[in-house]
Amino acid sequence: MTTKSFGEPILRKEDPRLVSGQGRYLDDLGHDALAAAFLRSPHASARILDIDVTDAIDVPGLIGIYTYEDLEGRVAEPLPLLIPHPALLNGRTGYPLANEYVRHVGEAIVMVIAEDRYVAEDVVDLIKVSYEILKPVVGIEDAKAAHNAVHSSVPNNVSAHSVKEVGDARAMIKSAPHKLSLDLFIERSACSPLEGKGVYAIWEEDSQELRLWSSTQTSTGVRAAVAAKLDLPLQKVECIAPDVGGGFGVKIMHPWPEEVLIPWAARKLKRPVKWSEDRREHFISSAHERAQEHHIEVGFDEEGRILGLDVTFFHDNGAYTPYGIIIPLITSTQLLGPYKPASYRVEFTSLFTNTVLVIPYRGAGRPQGVFAMERTVDAIAKYLKLDRTVVRERNFIQPHEMPYDLGLIFQDGRPLEYDSGDFPASMAMLKKMVGWDDFETMRSEYAAMGRKIGIGVACYVEGTGVGPYEGGFVQVETSGRINVATGLTSQGQGHQTVFAQIVADELGVPIEDVFVTTGDTRRFPYAVGTFASRAAVMSGNAIALAARQVRDKALRLAGEALECDPQDLEIVDGIIRVKGDHAKSIALKTVAVLSNPLRYAFDESAKAATQFAVGDTSKPPVPEDQEPGLEGKDYYSPMASTFANGMHAVIIEILPETAEVKILRYVVVHDCGRVINPMIVEGQIHGGVAQGVAGALYERMAYDESGQLQNASFMDFLMPYSTEIPTVEAGHLETPSPLNPLGIKGAGEAGVIPGSAVFASAIEDAEGFEIRRMPISPSELWELRRTMKENA
């Protein structure tokens, strides 16, 4: 019997290759390619007066210097606005190279192509640009004040404005027995994948074809964007995502300026060209996220039930909006989490600033929304002197209310309807695991030793598996090797393992025989990309459907060969056999030979196949309604997103003298439906929690007033080390999604979402004063203590 692999903690198939240095990342490719380097703006807002290359042009090894004036055709047009929205009143995008104005430090102005990157950087250093320096807009307050404009054509720096209402929240708050208002802030952070972006392009002059590799989360998207920009037929462009060293959102944006410029230069020069982003470039010229300012008005009854919730928030979208306003849209719709306020109003304004543009970073607007909601629930509990979990439980949507329609429209343009989840059960599990009810005893024990501890809790719901579709292709080779392809890309998630697990179970073959290719447009040209916790849900289901097609075809052909009813057959360990009569069998690989009636016997499988006669001799060898080959292709396109959920609790100790926060325990209860591989899901949670800890206690983008990023290095941008990350205790609750064949929900972003909320809750619990702004450093916490003491 083949061991069932779905649901098992199978070791990752990709790891032996990746951990032994066999990975092939973007910079491992194209060693002989020409190299690109960019001169980037040192100013946050400026007009370019002159670009002087006099000193640069004689450097040996220089191939070309390009400015905006050199760009041709559609390459000279503004980059596309990928996701328009009616609320995005003033969407703006930049140019591949700055056209007269620069709007953030790091914006590309000049591209230098040289024999190698060293020479290219030498040349960059010798180019002189003169600027008329303009007053920049830095931060939300500055943007709101609108003394200066990021784009002269955009009044008040407002890119988007949106109001949504479910019921009359303002009236409900007015008439509520109790009211509170809160102001809540989250600062900027960034994805910070260990591998930056990168592009490598080869132009085949003979065939007029472009092949490019990009460290991307969407090779199909890059392919289409580049074909359009370079005015090439899609058929003449292929894009491959090699091994990608992390994405976390930043690589879903496309085309990045470099993704247009490098292929353009390769075609122009008729030589391979490569660009690998360095760390400083990644900090100042890719993307950030998270900066939002929220004002909350809430009305509630004696029991803590929320009668009206009115949220007004401002979102800092940076200098351009190529990815639209997905982040504030998600905040506005996912803020409610597992709760059902009687009425809800949310209004947001998205603002331009002279800082790096903003696109989704793992969690994508949810960490801010959850912070706003969970701080509000904690404030209600404190006001009513109720246990924080009790107020949560009283506001939960109940399991019998599923599916639950929240009356809003989600980011995918479809009604926001939760499909599954059991919030009371999740909370009960969390409280038990963390010892919530015994915490006061623990607090007193620590207090007796002069130590101060606190506990925090936070809940979230996450829309995952966003459409529109993904596809899967499954093929059985005559050797017995199973090839699987899907168009979305991998950045370390473990797709080669989980997709193989799905196919191994559906087809009845050993997982060792299954080989998965992702993100290669030559192998699967239709795809959306890897983001929004969607890969397992979307491609996992598509691959399962494709595998079922292969199984059906294999059983039909085997039935013909064995002269029996396909219904009586089963596939075990790659052998198709009659149930109850195992002697009567045929190998799946032999069926692969039969499926493709060639006249040549290349190998042993083909020889073995000659003993079986297949097909109706009155019909052609390949009947009209069939195709040669044992393969299947299918797509999965859901009606709506499926909603995962989770609850986190943390116990912290704060040192009395230095206000350093030590994590004593971190507990996660997580529901992502049926789990394909629990080890990989836990890995996703651990990585997410690490980024949650990072966003709460370490990482921020320290812009000064002139728009200079003061911490654009891993020395000063405090991405935590393994030494700062706690052991994560995780519990799984499985409420299968009714929306897809496999019953799964996404897990990729879950761990990060409640980070700032749960730490703020715990710090507030330990210190006794309100925490309204995250992240928080020991220095800030210590200063806050001092202020509180002075005010008291």
Partner 1 sequence: MKPSRFQYVRPQSIPEAVMALQRHNSKVLAGGQSLTPLLSMRLASPDVLVDINGLTELSGIELRGSELWIGAIARHQEVLTHVLVQTHVPLIQQALAYVAHPVIRNRGTSVGSIAHADPAGELTAVAALLGARIHVSAQQGPREILAADFFVGPLESSLQHGELVTGVSFPVLDATWGSSCQEVARRHGDYALAGVCALVQVLDGQIMAARIAIFSVAGTPLVIDVIDVHEDHEKLNLKVQALIDPDTDIHATADYRRQLVKTLVVQALTEARVHAELRQS
Q: Determine, following the binding rule CB under 8 A, whether residue 787 of this chain makes contact with partner 1.
A: no
Q: Determine, following the binding rule CB under 8 A, whether residue 315 of this chain makes contact with partner 1.
A: no
Buried b (16+ CB within 10 A) or exposed e, 696-723: bbbbbbebeeebbbeebeeeebbeeeee
Considering beta carbons, is residue 610 or 779 the nearer one to partner 1?
779
Considering beta carbons, is residue 600 or 721 the nearer one to partner 1?
721
Which residue among 702, 738, 741, 787 contacts partner 1 (CB under 8 A)? 702
Shortest separation between residue 153's beta carbon and partner 1, angstroms: 34
**Which residue, 201, 214, 40, is CA-closest to 111?**
40
Which residue among 280, 305, 548, 584 contacts partner 1 (CB under 8 A)? 280
Binding mask 657-676 for partner 1 (x = CB under 8 A): xx-x----------------
**Which residue, 378, 184, 372, 380, is CA-closest to 299?**
380
* Number of Cβ atoms within 10 Å of the Cβ of 170: 15
Q: Determine, following the binding rule CB under 8 A, whether residue 767 of this chain makes contact with partner 1.
A: no
Q: Determine, following the binding rule CB under 8 A, whether residue 439 of this chain makes contact with partner 1.
A: no
Of the ranges 322-330, 431-439, 618-626, 718-726, which one interacts with partner 1 (CB under 8 A)? 718-726
Which residue among 100, 716, 768, 787 contacts partner 1 (CB under 8 A)? 716
Q: Determine, following the binding rule CB under 8 A, whether residue 128 of this chain makes contact with partner 1.
A: no
Residue 532 backbone zone (phi > 0: left; psi -120 to 50: alpha; other: beta): left
Considering beta carbons, is residue 268 or 785 the nearer one to partner 1?
785
Of the ranges 139-147, 447-455, 632-640, 779-787, which one interacts with partner 1 (CB under 8 A)? 779-787
Using CA atoms in the order 598, 599, 600, 603, what is the torsion angle rounded to 10 degrees? 60
Shortest separation between residue 484's beta carbon and partner 1, angstroms: 37
Of the ranges 42-50, 198-206, 275-283, 546-554, which one interacts with partner 1 (CB under 8 A)? 275-283
Which residue among 407, 480, 720, 743 contacts partner 1 (CB under 8 A)? 720
Q: Determine, following the binding rule CB under 8 A, whether residue 791 of this chain makes contact with partner 1.
A: no
User: Structure tokens of 260?
Assistant: 């247009």
Q: Evaluate the omega torsion of the peptide bond into residue 403 and state whether it is cis, within 30 degrees of 0.
A: yes
Of the ranges 178-186, 278-286, 546-554, 760-768, which one interacts with partner 1 (CB under 8 A)? 278-286
- Distances in Å between the alpha carbon of 728 and those of 228, 409, 731, 749, 764? 46, 34, 10, 15, 22
Exposed/middle/buried for 131, CB within 10 Å: 0-12, 13-18, 19+? middle
- E-strand ranges in 156-250 read 158-166, 178-186, 198-204, 209-214, 237-240
In angstroms, how far is the first alpha carbon of the chain from the final one?
Answer: 71
User: Structure tokens of 364?
Assistant: 């994508």
- Distances in Å between the alpha carbon of 289 and those of 574, 645, 684, 785? 48, 22, 20, 28
CA-based R_g, the chain, Å = 28
Binding mask 233-272 for partner 1 (x = CB under 8 A): ----------------------------------------
Q: Determine, following the binding rule CB under 8 A, whether residue 718 of this chain makes contact with partner 1.
A: yes
**Which residue, 341, 199, 202, is CA-closest to 260?**
199
**Interatomic CA distance for residues 730 and 550, integer angstroms:** 37
**Interatomic CA distance for residues 558 and 571, integer angstroms:** 10
**Which residue, 427, 425, 535, is CA-closest to 489?**
535
Considering beta carbons, is residue 60 or 233 the nearer one to partner 1?
60
Contact 759, 456 (CB under 8 A): yes
Considering beta carbons, is residue 355 or 595 the nearer one to partner 1?
355
Shortest separation between residue 699's beta carbon and partner 1, angstroms: 11
**Interatomic CA distance for residues 235 and 213, integer angstroms:** 16
Q: Determine, following the binding rule CB under 8 A, whether residue 705 of this chain makes contact with partner 1.
A: no
Q: Determine, following the binding rule CB under 8 A, whether residue 604 of this chain makes contact with partner 1.
A: no
Q: Determine, following the binding rule CB under 8 A, whether residue 55 of this chain makes contact with partner 1.
A: no
Which residue among 12, 117, 254, 315 contacts partner 1 (CB under 8 A)? 117
Shortest separation between residue 280's beta carbon and partner 1, angstroms: 6
Which residue among 15, 100, 125, 729 contacts partner 1 (CB under 8 A)? 125
Considering beta carbons, is residue 117 or 345 the nearer one to partner 1?
117
Shortest separation between residue 652's beta carbon and partner 1, angstroms: 16
Of the ranges 409-417, 499-507, 524-532, 654-662, which one interacts with partner 1 (CB under 8 A)? 654-662
Shortest separation between residue 726's beta carbon and partner 1, angstroms: 13
**Interatomic CA distance for residues 725 and 666, integer angstroms:** 10
Q: Determine, following the binding rule CB under 8 A, whether residue 15 of this chain makes contact with partner 1.
A: no
Q: Evaluate the omega torsion of the peptide bond into residue 775 and state whether it is cis, within 30 degrees of 0.
A: yes
**Interatomic CA distance for residues 339 and 396, integer angstroms:** 5
- Contact residues: partner 1, CB under 8 A: 117-118, 121-122, 125, 278-280, 657-658, 660, 698, 702, 710-711, 715-716, 718, 720-721, 723-724, 777-779, 782-783, 786
